[in-house]
Structure 1
Amino acid sequence: MDPILSCRWYDREGEWALTVTHQATGWELMATAPRWSESLPFSDPDDVRRLAQALLDLPAEPEPYECEWQLSRTDRERTHFATFALGLDPTDDHRPYLAYQSYHHTGQATGLGLEVICENPPVDHLRAQAHAFLTGHP
């Protein structure tokens, strides 16, 4: 299915992306780095609506703002979990950002996974996608 919300950018290493789509198994967030990608489920459509609304509510003026989601999936003996956040960075002139950081837990060990951070995403484009999603999925 086509992405509901998608932010893609490029640097000298290649393509990066944070994308939310509806798959056969439900809503998924796909984090893509030049050499690696992974996906984790959003728990339900309400989380996707909350993300869309958070994009629409992103302040135009510099002020504290952050929305965060905890995502997880357990496969056999391994738990894969991540934090996904949208906000304005108070340490960088309140510039907008999208950030994804994943972790893997197996037995007694937890390790870092994929980190994908979009500094200064195309807010107008994301707001248009969010508006279209909320209009199409009341």
Structure 2
Amino acid sequence: MSGCVFCGIVAGEVPAFRVADEPDGVAFLDTRPVFAGHVLVVPRVHLVTLAELPDDLLPGYFALVQRLAVAVEAGLGAGGTFVAMNNKVSQSVPHLHTHVVPRTKGDGLRGFFWPRTRYPSDEDARDVAARIAAAL
């Protein structure tokens, strides 16, 4: 898509520090990493959200994400990885992308990047779960 920086990277028109370039997607270093080795994995086709990823592309794309999570850990000697995706809200580039961030114990990253809360009651939790299940 014209004007999409990630499409430009996929097409080789925008420079990037590529980690993988495969039929199922392209992976490259984030230019503003949480930690060194923070990789972005994008599908080759321009899609904005996970909901738009066609069923036939799911296995290959997520297999690539899975392999990258293992490679980031092994290649950098990390203790683990944080794998995440934003859809619409907080999505800085409107092209589907998955973050693979190396983690080490004591790295300062605490769970998610926002405060965690609890449900006021089990009844509230059941109601939220039922609303999601009904939409599914």
Tell me whether the two structures share a fold, i.e. TM-score over 0.5. no
Q: Which has the higher strand share?
A: 1
* Higher gyration radius (CA): 2
What's the TM-score, normalizing by structure 2?
0.31
Bigger RCO (CA 8 Å, 6+ sep): 2
